[in-house]
């Protein structure tokens, strides 16, 4: 009963809220909302233009063997790091590392619990939202087939790294006051920016993803990591 009240019912509520929000965003802004103009302007300022032809694929028109501009070099590894296989591996590694360093079962499962909650809510709400990916943007990587809203990569980044920051606080790790904000906000925000800059998401998608990820981390902190 406590699991139902603490996790399942709030999770269903989050799914309904994010699903409805995605529908509203598409209804109000259409499939090419004004927010995308900011992204196209930023991409254009660094020499990126969408490829002609297949709007869904949007291959990089720039010669991949040529020099890459600074933001492209910065966001490329971040986009890779936040990929699904890498995030799963990252969560598993941190679960194992936490167990080996603390021998605390609740702490050890916290990274996986945060990702599991975030993923369940993301998959369900994305299916309800059904928002297309941005159009007429530079996109060097092919997007996933899921809805653009909310951003799953952003949500996972905020959920996982926020939980890692909470673990540092719980166990009084050295440097927690310095590393905590970097993990909780710095790394996930950089990943969120990479998803927008590389044409994978609308700006509102990453905002929703950040909210979902922070909420998932907060639930895990309350249920598993509270004193």
Q: Give dist(CA 158, CA 151) in Å, integer.
A: 11
Q: What's the pTM value of the predicted model, to 2 decimals?
A: 0.92
pLDDT tens digits for range 199-214: 999 999 999 999 999 9
Distances from the Cα of 223 to the Cαs of 40, 55, 189, 217, 218, in angstroms? 42, 44, 25, 10, 9
Task: Report the domain count for the chain.
Answer: 1
Range of the domain at 16: 2-225
pLDDT tens digits for range 154-175: 999 999 999 999 999 999 888 7
**Is residue 64 predicted with pLDDT exceeding 60?**
no
* Pick from 71, 83, 87: nearest CA to 138: 71
**Is residue 78 predicted with pLDDT exceeding 50?**
yes
């Amino acid at each position: 009963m406590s699991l139902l009240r603490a996790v399942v019912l709030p999770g269903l509520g989050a799914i309904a809220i994010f699903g409805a929000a995605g529908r509203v965003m598409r209804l109000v802004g259409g499939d090419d909302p004004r927010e995308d103009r900011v992204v196209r302007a930023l991409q254009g300022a660094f020499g990126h233009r969408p490829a002609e032809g297949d709007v869904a694929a949007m291959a990089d028109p720039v010669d991949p063997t040529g020099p890459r501009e600074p933001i492209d070099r910065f966001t490329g590894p971040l986009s890779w790091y936040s990929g699904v296989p890498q995030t799963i591996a990252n969560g598993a590694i941190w679960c194992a590392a936490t167990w080996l360093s603390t021998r605390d079962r609740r702490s050890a499962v916290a990274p996986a619990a945060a990702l599991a909650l975030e993923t369940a809510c993301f998959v369900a709400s994305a299916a309800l939202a059904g928002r297309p990916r941005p159009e007429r943007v530079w996109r060097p990587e092919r997007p996933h087939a899921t809805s653009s809203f909310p951003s799953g990569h952003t949500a996972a980044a905020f959920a996982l790294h926020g939980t890692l920051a909470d673990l540092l606080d719980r166990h009084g790790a050295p440097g927690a006051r310095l590393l905590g904000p970097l993990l909780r906000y710095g790394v996930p925000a950089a990943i969120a920016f990479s998803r927008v800059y590389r044409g994978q998401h609308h700006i509102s998608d990453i905002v929703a993803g950040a909210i979902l990820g922070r909420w998932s981390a907060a639930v895990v902190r309350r249920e598993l990591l509270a004193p």
